Structure 1
């Protein structure tokens, strides 16, 4: 399962996303992504998973999957 909300700093540089925090914010405004105020110090905005580009959603889903357990070495 993936989270529902992401800060621009977390999204910057992911596939389908600009490389900088400020560029993510500009794109979010341009594309009218669903957003909310971020709680805590510094404020800012968070963006809804469903509003993000498909390519970015796929990457976030892949990152949220647990890694396969390592196999023990055969002797």
Structure 2
């Protein structure tokens, strides 16, 4: 679920609410739900388990990169 997007194409970096399309170089706060347990930590506690790369399973293209700010185990 996309909570909000910060549009990187404008100089103000304003928050765009209601848009669910994340474009290249945009910054977004999202919530991810997984069907299997993930072994993660907050990025501030562990850089290795607090960051991830999202990859399209059909094309193997990189969709984005992320850091874990907060999570509920």
User: TM-score, with normalisation over the residues of structure 1?
Assistant: 0.23
For the pair shown, the structure with the greater C-alpha radius of gyration is 1
Higher helix share: 1
Higher strand share: 2
User: TM-score, with normalisation over the residues of structure 2?
Assistant: 0.23
Which structure is higher in RCO with an 8 Å CA cutoff and minimum separation 6? 1
